[in-house]
């Protein structure tokens, strides 16, 4: 039941009333604040990627790992933020860090998911390269870069996720509007530098030292799996059981996004400003999807709409909200990427072209976000799966692949790649 309409059922609420309820000054303020902060932080990732042209050339196939590694921080911790947001809405959240508290068990689950999925992503990137006969670094190097980069970056993103939830709880914020963009931005900002650090530490040539590290990380992943099976933390175990299969699917789909970019990598390397745009574009798209799915998950948990074959009048305002955000965010992607390219002294197609590419591709991509977000949320609901554990990872995986396709398609349309 919508709190502002006590005398009406959910189905009786007019579209105009639903519009007023969902698109408010505070919603826009919170959403834009998170998205603009995310764009600024994601720019760091874009600038790092723009300067990694030499590494991408010397370590072939690495882009297959970069896109899923960036996306996975948002998948794991975005889902955690969504779960904590739902706990806030339902009055179950507390800031207690006692071992069996909701907050603590979410922390444990996210740490274990990080280890398991980081190991799997390394194997996945290597497997895709091997299957498609793409020149690449070895399996051991893929896994080590993924594990070291994933663990380092997750430490920082975990702190930020908990900070957002606790601050939102203390200040009465609706963290559904803020957690996804802030967590996505944090993941962007720290993941690429962490991967860059991992590359420096590991290098491209396999050694006995690499093999020992690979075995140790394999033992760590196995220990995390065993701990999950034997754990008495029911909430943690439930989160991991539900989320790992979805995170694996999401990782595979995000690897496909890397594959799409890798197929036109030469064009990106010729105009590095386009590489700067990639994390900004994909993660803004992801954040918009995260906002939508967090809102829909909370609405499903609280019975604010009845899921149907087609989006109803309670859902359309949420779609419009995402379009409003996108009309500001995607032009900003083009401007930011261009400004960064000028600052860094790297090749760019020009300001007008950058804005056109990011906005045109973004509006196409966000249309997919709206449709996929709705059907992912209601499918998870109808299958009695927790939308918080499934909607964001599934959305992210589809959005990564579709976003990369939209961006590359527009770049091909204008003849830049």
Q: What is the pLDDT of residues 180-197, one digit of tens each?
A: 667 877 887 888 889 989
Q: What is the rounded average pLDDT of the residues 11-33?
A: 69
pLDDT, residue 331, reads 96
pLDDT at 8 exceeding the cut of 60 = no
Asked whether the beta carbons of 406 and 358 are under 8 A apart, the reply is: no
Q: How far is CA 96 from CA 92, 93, 104, 162, 224, in A?
A: 11, 9, 8, 11, 24
What was the pLDDT predicted at 63? 92
- 185 lies in a domain? yes
Q: Looking at residues 109-120, what average pLDDT do you find?
A: 96
Number of folded domains in the chain? 1
Residue 265 lies in a domain: yes
Task: Please report whether residue 157 resides in a domain.
Answer: yes
Using pLDDT thresholds of 50, 70 and 90, give the confidence band for residue 223.
very high
Give the span between the Cα atoms of 135 and 260, in whole angstroms.
Answer: 15
pLDDT at 42: 79
390 within some domain = yes
SS3 content of the chain, % helix, strand, coil (to 5): 80, 0, 20
Angle at 136 between CA 133 and CA 141, to 5 degrees: 135
Instruction: Name the residue with higher pLDDT: 120 or 52.
Output: 120
Q: What is the DSSP letter of 101?
A: S
**Which is more confident, 291 or 14?**
291
Which stretches within 23-138 are classed as H helix?
25-50, 53-58, 63-89, 102-131
pLDDT confidence of residue 2: 40
Length of the chain: 417
- Say how far apart CA 24 and CA 22 lie, in whole Å: 6
Q: How high is the pLDDT of residue 18? A: 59
pLDDT-derived band at 172 (thresholds 50, 70, 90) equals confident
Reported as a pLDDT band with limits 50, 70 and 90, residue 16 is low
pTM of this prediction?
0.79
Average pLDDT, the chain: 85
Q: What does residue 380 show for φ and ψ, rounded to 5 degrees?
A: -60, -40
> Has residue 383 got a pLDDT over 90?
no
Q: Say if 3 falls within a structural domain.
A: no
- Using the predicted structure, report yes or no on whether residue 13 has a pLDDT greater than 60: no
Segment of 73-87, 249-263, 330-344 carrying the highest mean pLDDT? 330-344
Q: 241: domain range?
A: 12-413
The rounded Cα 184 to chain-centroid distance in angstroms is 5
Output the pLDDT for position 1. 35
Q: CA-CA distances (angstroms) from residue 216 to 115, 147, 221? A: 12, 11, 9
Q: Is residue 1 part of a domain?
A: no
- Would you say residue 119 has pLDDT above 80? yes
The proportion of the chain whose per-residue pLDDT surpasses 90, expressed as a percent, equals: 43
Is residue 4 in a domain? no
Decide if pLDDT at 3 tops 60.
Answer: no
Report whether pLDDT(411) > 80.
yes
Is residue 300 one of the residues assigned to a domain?
A: yes
Reply yes or no on whether the pLDDT at 385 is more than 80.
no
| Residue 282, pLDDT above cutoff 80 | yes
The helix/strand count (H/E) of the chain reads as 14, 0
Q: Which pair of tokens denotes residue 352?
A: 């007008």
Does 415 have pLDDT greater than 80? yes
């Amino acid at each position: 039941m919508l709190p502002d309409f006590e005398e009406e059922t959910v189905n009786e609420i007019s579209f105009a009333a639903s519009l007023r309820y969902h698109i408010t000054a505070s919603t826009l303020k919170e959403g834009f604040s998170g998205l603009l902060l995310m764009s600024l932080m994601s720019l760091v990732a874009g600038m790092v990627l723009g300067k990694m042209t030499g590494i991408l050339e010397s370590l072939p196939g690495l882009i297959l790992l970069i896109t899923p590694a960036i996306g996975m921080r948002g998948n794991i911790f975005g889902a955690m933020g969504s779960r904590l947001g739902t706990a806030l809405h339902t009055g179950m959240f507390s800031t207690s860090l006692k071992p069996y508290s909701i907050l603590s068990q979410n922390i444990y689950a996210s740490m274990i998911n990080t280890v398991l999925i980081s190991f799997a992503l390394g194997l996945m990137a290597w497997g895709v390269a091997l299957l498609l006969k793409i020149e690449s670094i070895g399996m051991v190097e893929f896994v080590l870069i993924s594990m070291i980069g994933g663990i380092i970056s997750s430490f920082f993103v975990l702190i930020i996720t908990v900070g957002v939830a606790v601050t939102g709880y203390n200040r009465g914020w609706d963290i559904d509007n803020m957690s996804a963009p802030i967590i996505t931005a944090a993941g962007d900002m720290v993941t690429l530098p962490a991967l860059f650090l991992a590359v420096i530490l590991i290098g491209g040539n396999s050694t006995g030292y690499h093999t020992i590290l690979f075995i140790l990380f394999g033992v760590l992943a196995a220990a995390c799996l065993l701990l999950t099976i034997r754990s008495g933390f029911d909430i943690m175990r439930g989160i991991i059981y539900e989320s790992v299969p979805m995170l694996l699917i999401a990782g595979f789909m995000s690897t496909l996004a890397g594959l799409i970019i890798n197929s036109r990598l030469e064009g990106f390397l010729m105009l590095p400003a386009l590489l700067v745009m990639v994390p900004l574009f994909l993660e803004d798209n992801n954040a918009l999807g995260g906002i939508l799915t967090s809102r829909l998950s909370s609405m499903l948990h609280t019975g604010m709409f009845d899921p149907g074959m087609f989006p109803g009048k309670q859902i359309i305002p949420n779609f419009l909200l995402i379009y409003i955000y996108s009309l500001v965010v995607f032009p900003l992607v083009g401007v930011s990427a261009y400004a960064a390219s000028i600052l860094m002294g790297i090749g760019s197609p020009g300001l007008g072209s950058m804005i056109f590419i990011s906005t045109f591709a973004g509006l196409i991509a966000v249309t997919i976000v709206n449709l996929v977000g709705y059907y992912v949320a209601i499918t998870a609901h109808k299958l009695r799966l927790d939308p918080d554990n499934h909607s964001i990872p599934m959305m992210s995986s589809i959005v990564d692949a579709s976003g990369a396709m939209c961006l590359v398609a527009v770049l091909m349309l204008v003849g830049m790649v």
